[in-house]
Chain A
Amino acid sequence: MNRALPEMLNCMNAPGTFLAGNCTDMTVLERQRARMKWHLHEHNDPIQLHQQQQGYNFSGNELSGVFSVPIPAGQAQGFMGLVCGDSAVKPDPCSENRWAELGYGSCGLVVNNNGAAGFEEMINGRNNNSNISRTFSCPPTVAAEKKSNDAVLSQKISLPTGKESFKKRKADKVQSNKAVAAEDDSTEKRMKGCAEEGDSKITEQTSTKNNTNNDRESSGDTSKDNSKASEVQKPDYIHVRARRGQATDSHSLAERVRREKISERMKYLQDLVPGCNKITGKAGMLDEIINYVQSLQRQVEFLSMKLAAVNPRLDFNIDDLFAKEMFPACAANFPTIGMSSEMTNSAYVQFNPVQQMVSSCGLDMGINSSDLALRRTISAPVSIPETFLDTSCFTQAPPTAIWDADLQNLFNVEFQQGRTTPFQSQPFTGSIEASNLKMEM
């Protein structure tokens, strides 16, 4: 296992091996998680951001549920972080194919596998299954095939943890009787006992089955069904459906799920609120969050005051205001284009709306009454952004001094607004060049 670690550190692209390393050696976990986060940030920033916005808890929760029972809280959190990061990668279509294959197909299996292995190691203190260790030490390219080969095995191993996770997942949803809950706990204990005894996983599995059968027939049947379902690798919803009868509520389990959810969301909020990283403890963090929300609301109030004070001054040029309406939205659009892959093209495409907007602004503020025709001519290049017909049109337009000032204005504010400075810098220079060109014309 330790032999394989440097390899895993080298090949950051493979999530499977990465997780394996984390599971086996918990001391390396923090470092690797940090690296993984960094890696994710570097490679697919927009997608991850998007994920964090929308589905950060939905995709994270399901997988994090897998780990929650067998591994104690701290480690489980680490895993949660990892799995959250992983899930952010999964739906990403633009990265390498290997990622797609590994990420969705085999990663879930490997995760389960690791969870089971960690569980066993934690309880036994010895390494039973040579198969798993082999899969761990595999390099990522081979790992895909290996994992597909070992799919059934890993599924078998992952069975107990999977069962428990499903119990847990259901736990907060279903409010049910306590008798079944007690049964749940007893099966949990039994499984631990089996892990201590059992040398091979299959015997362990069968023994758990037998135990449940002996004890309570109804629940035993359901567990049998579950094991069969997971062996055949049926899709996920069938799993859920099969366990629905079995899923129970134990107060401690539900409480743990709730706490995990809360801590996860707290983490997200911590990223969101500036200056909240240093504070430890939920009370302090909540205080900080409250302060931040209050300050935001106060800021809204202040800005509305400012707008109210400013508004009557510009009573008569509606066009100006419309130009302004274009402005923030257009500025908002800037980063999105900046992130697209072709930098040169995007710079040009980007330049066009700005030019058009500025031109309309200048026209509105200007003296000319014949701007309709001009505007129509200007509108032509916007519909065909590649061709640069507009430069010819612009020679007839009002004096360049106003334009320049407006451009400066726009870019200043837009620059302040922009979040992604590395992306922002390039379009900025590009448009400046373009404005120079225009000035020359």
Chain B
Amino acid sequence: MKKTLKLYLLTMTNITTTGVTLNIKSCRTKFAHRFVRSLLQIRNHAPPSSSSSSEEKLIQKRRQRIKIAAYLSMAHAVGPRMNWSRALLFKLRNRACRHRKKKRIVVIRRKTKKASRSSQGSVPVDQAKKLRRLVPGAKSMDLCSLLEETAHYITCLSTQIKVMQALADHLSK
């Protein structure tokens, strides 16, 4: 099994050196690798005992973990060069700590929100705020970089969705 994987990797590298490598493709392959690996980990880690009472809970838990794994592997694939991936990595790495300090963080955020109300020029403030809430790590950004990060985030999310869709389709068959 490992042999096949290695062989596959070898062929992959061969292909990528011969063909034209685009950024998004490499991102996609990286993401696929990481995501499947983490899926395997999740499945191996989970107890195989299928008690019918906690089936729903198990699935919910697994869903959460898979989601986190997907985001994490995307952020890993992108690397630390974008702001959102950095923020995502940080957030997911420290999520145990965050749970403990949740209240405090909320309070601080409220304060900063009130403090950092500046004129956004031609672009309406409310929408920018909403967008800041959606894109990870965009809370303290100016509008230019916010839009840039949003563009990158959207492309990455769409590739992620494509890979996940393909996986789900293939697994469900």
Q: Interface on A for B, CB 8 Å cutoff?
A: 46, 49-50, 53-54, 57, 255, 258-259, 261-262, 265-266, 268-269, 272-273, 282-283, 286-287, 289-290, 292-294, 296-297, 299-301, 303-315, 318-319, 321-322, 324-333, 335-337, 339-340, 346, 349, 352-353, 356-357, 360, 375, 379, 382-383, 385, 409, 413, 417
Contact = CB atoms under 8 A, between A and B. Distances in A.
Contact of A269 (B4, B39, B150, B157): B150
7 contacts: A49-B22, A290-B127, A300-B70, A324-B171, A336-B15, A336-B20, A353-B11
B168 A296 contact: no
Contact of B20 (A266, A293, A304, A340): A340
Contact of B167 (A307, A330, A383): A307
B164 A300 contact: yes
Interface stretch (B24-32, B87-95, B100-108, B110-118): B24-32
Nearest to B69: A304
Nearest to A273: B154
B134 A293 contact: yes
B145 to A, nearest CB: 9
B168 A329 contact: no
Contact of B124 (A53, A259, A282): A282
B151 A353 contact: no
A368 to B, nearest CB: 15
Interface in B119-150: 121-124, 127-128, 130-131, 134-135, 143-144, 147-148, 150
Contacts of A356: 7-8, 11
B8 A308 contact: no
Contact of A314 (B20, B22, B24, B171): B171
Contacts of B7: 356, 379, 382
Contacts of A53: 22-24, 155
A303 B29 contact: no
A283 B157 contact: no
B4 A332 contact: no
Nearest to B62: A308
Given A286-B127, A327-B166, A322 B1 contact: yes
B3 interface: yes
Contacts of A292: 154
Contact of B11 (A301, A303, A311, A382): A382
Nearest to B60: A308
Nearest to A371: B4
Contact of A332 (B29, B65, B67): B29
Nearest to B61: A308
B16 to A, nearest CB: 7
B162 interface: yes
| Residue picked from A53, A299, A329, A335, most chain B C-beta under 10 Å | A329
A425 B20 CA distance: 18
* Nearest 9 Cβ contacts at the A-B interface: A286-B127, A265-B147, A308-B62, A304-B67, A308-B63, A325-B36, A304-B66, A303-B164, A296-B157
B5 interface: yes
A337 B162 CA distance: 19
A305 B63 CA distance: 5
B18 interface: yes
B109 interface: no
B124 to A, nearest CB: 5
A332 B171 contact: no
B54 interface: no
A315 B62 CA distance: 14
Contact of A308 (B4, B59, B147): B59
Interface string B54-88: 00000110111111001100000000000000000
A307 B29 contact: no
A262 B70 contact: no
Given A293-B134, A300-B71, A325-B5, 5 more contacts: A289-B154, A300-B161, A310-B172, A319-B4, A356-B7
Contacts of B172: 306, 310
Contact of A328 (B8, B32, B66): B32
B167 to A, nearest CB: 6
